[in-house]
Copies of this chain bind each other. A is one copy, B any other.
Amino acid sequence: MPDAIPNDSVGLVTPSTQHFEQSLTLESGLSLPSFDLVYETYGELNAKKSNAILICHALTGDHHVAGYHSMDDKKPGWWDAYIGPGKPIDTNKFFVIGLNNLGGCKGSTGPMSINPATDKPYGRDFPIVTVKDWVLTQTMLADALGIDSFAAVIGGSLGGMQALQWSIDYPQRVKHAVVIAAAPKLSAQNIGFNEVARQAIRSDPDFHDGHYYEHNVVPRRGIKLARMLGHITYLSDESMRAKFGRELREGKINFNFDTEFQVQSYLQYQGESFVDRFDANSYLIMTKTLDYFDPAKEYNDDLAKALEKTDTRFLVISFTSDWRFAPERSREIVKALLDSNKSVSYAEIKANQGHDAFLIPNTDYQNVLSCYMQHVEDASQ
């Protein structure tokens, strides 16, 4: 392994594409004639095929969960801190799969893909997908890889919602669900923030009703605003205070509208850099996926009832300073699991980074996850 790559990394990895030449009917009633899912794997599938772990990504994540694509990569996959040899999700023991969800913009079929009906990109015509749809397509990927049952499905934020949905829709195919920094459904405030982000994108004159690809533009202004706003909700007031406070870029106020405070500079940078790495239509779809998630709905708003039939065992994790999906929201999940007599471990991790904490190295979090993964390993033998 090259010198520049740390020893506890999964190393250089290459994404694969699984093509599904079959029509897929979505929860909306719409269907796709065929589709691709891009995925990566780390570690080896054992002979019993009992050590597979599925990692589900959050709003703007993708299949590149761990390792490096090339020696030039500045950063590894988005959850590299937690996946690798000797790490909490130990690739010496587990066969780990990360995928880009349907509707995404990192290789799986989504709004940027060519719509065979028109020979043009789907754009806004790409159907809105749900967490349930994602989980269905994930079972299809599992089938293609010969995996009957996952040792665990794991995810943070929107990824945690997928883990929860797995336990409801396919309890026989998932032994453990690790639901991190999630919520059983979005609050009005959560939906409100999503709506502002969507309005920012959709009201950008370069949006062209979602068919901006054909105009060779992207709704830069809108996607930048959406990301700036998103970022505030990913951080905590406390972490922003610690990171930026009221620090001024030039040490003084200039009485103009230039970027004066460091926090302005940070948010603008985050917004700008997002424009080049994420598709606006995918962002619109995935915020809707979040808004729609509500597994208790078809059980008369009773989450315990929704979880009644599952045999999956659960680890639920929340972070003290997370106000996007606060610990109270995780406790709703825990309470529903207890009410339906399920096996659940719960840890509220002290962390000041807000919602982002689920992505960041933290000893308590690592220990809790490592410890639970030991149980998962024991159960997968």
Contact = CB atoms under 8 A, between A and B. Distances in A.
Interface stretch (A79-87, A196-204, A367-375): A196-204
> How many residues of A sit at the interface, in one of the four size bands?
35 or more
Nearest to A242: B188
Contact of A191 (B198, B221, B253, B261): B261
Interface in A231-255: 231-232, 235, 237, 240-241, 243-246, 253, 255
Interface stretch (A39-47, A50-58, A288-296): A288-296
Q: By CB atoms of chain B within 10 A, which of A193, A225, A256, A284 has the most?
A: A225
A264 B195 contact: yes
A58 B186 CA distance: 31
Contacts of A263: 188, 191-192, 195
A189 B244 CA distance: 9
Nearest to A264: B195
A53 B105 CA distance: 59
A14 interface: no
Contacts of A260: 291
A30 interface: yes
A12 interface: no
A51 B253 CA distance: 38
Interface string A177-214: 00000000111110111011011101111000000000
28 contacts: A28-B255, A124-B257, A127-B255, A185-B246, A187-B237, A188-B237, A188-B241, A188-B243, A188-B262, A189-B232, A189-B235, A189-B237, A189-B241, A192-B228, A192-B231, A192-B232, A195-B261, A195-B263, A195-B264, A195-B268, A196-B225, A196-B232, A196-B267, A199-B228, A199-B268, A200-B225, A203-B221, A257-B284
Q: Sorted from nearest, which 7 A-B pairs have the closest CB atoms?
A: A28-B255, A188-B240, A203-B221, A188-B244, A188-B263, A189-B237, A195-B264
Interface of A: 27-30, 124, 127-128, 185-189, 191-193, 195-196, 198-200, 202-205, 221, 224-225, 228-229, 231-232, 235, 237, 240-241, 243-246, 253, 255-257, 260-264, 267-268, 271, 284, 288, 291-292, 294, 323
